[in-house]
Amino acid sequence: MNARLVAMALAMFLFANILLFAGAAGAEASVSTEIVDTGYRPWTHGFSFQNFGDPEVYYGIDLGAVLGSDFHDEIFRHTGHCYGMASASVDDFLANRTPADQPIDEAMPCIDRIQTDQSFYYIAEYARFPFGGKALDNRAEYEKIIERLKSGKPAVIGVYYSAGGHPGHAVVAYRADVGENETRISVYDPNLPPAMYPYVEAPLTAVYYLKNGSFQYDNGQPFDQVRLNDLDASGIAAGRALAASLASLPGALLFLLLMRRFPPGL
Angle between helices 104-127 and 82-94 in degrees, nearest 10:
120
Taking alpha carbons only, the member of 145, 196, 151 closest to residue 42 is 196
51 within a domain of the structure (yes/no): yes
187 within a domain of the structure (yes/no): yes
Over range 235-259, report the average pLDDT: 59
Domain of 204 in residue numbering reads as 35-261
Question: What's residue 78's pLDDT?
Answer: 39
Question: What's residue 229's pLDDT?
Answer: 86
CB 239 within 8 A of CB 123: yes
22 within a domain of the structure (yes/no): no
17 within a domain of the structure (yes/no): no
Looking at per-residue pLDDT, the higher value among 53 and 48 belongs to: 48
Question: What's residue 134's pLDDT?
Answer: 54
- Domains contained in the chain, number: 1
Share of residues in the chain with pLDDT > 70 (%): 58
169 within a domain of the structure (yes/no): yes
21 within a domain of the structure (yes/no): no
69 within a domain of the structure (yes/no): yes
Contacts of residue 240, defined as CB under 8 A and 6 or more positions apart, other chains included, come to 120
Number of residues in the chain: 266
Backbone φ, ψ for residue 187 (5° rounding): -135, 155
Give the mean pLDDT of the chain. 75
30 within a domain of the structure (yes/no): no
Backbone φ, ψ for residue 131 (5° rounding): -75, -35
Taking alpha carbons only, the member of 184, 188, 161 closest to residue 172 is 188
Taking alpha carbons only, the member of 161, 60, 68, 47 closest to residue 114 is 47
pLDDT class for 242, splitting at 50, 70, 90? Answer: low
pLDDT digits (tens, 9 = 90+) for 182-227: 999 999 999 999 999 999 999 999 999 999 999 999 999 999 999 9
pLDDT digits (tens, 9 = 90+) for 67-123: 444 444 444 443 578 988 999 999 999 999 999 888 999 988 888 888 777 767 666
Question: What's residue 166's pLDDT?
Answer: 80
Question: What's residue 165's pLDDT?
Answer: 80
Is the pTM above the cut of 0.85? no
Over range 57-62, report the average pLDDT: 39
- Among the ranges given (51-60, 67-76, 132-141), the one the predictor scored with the smallest mean pLDDT: 67-76
β-partners of residue 200 are none
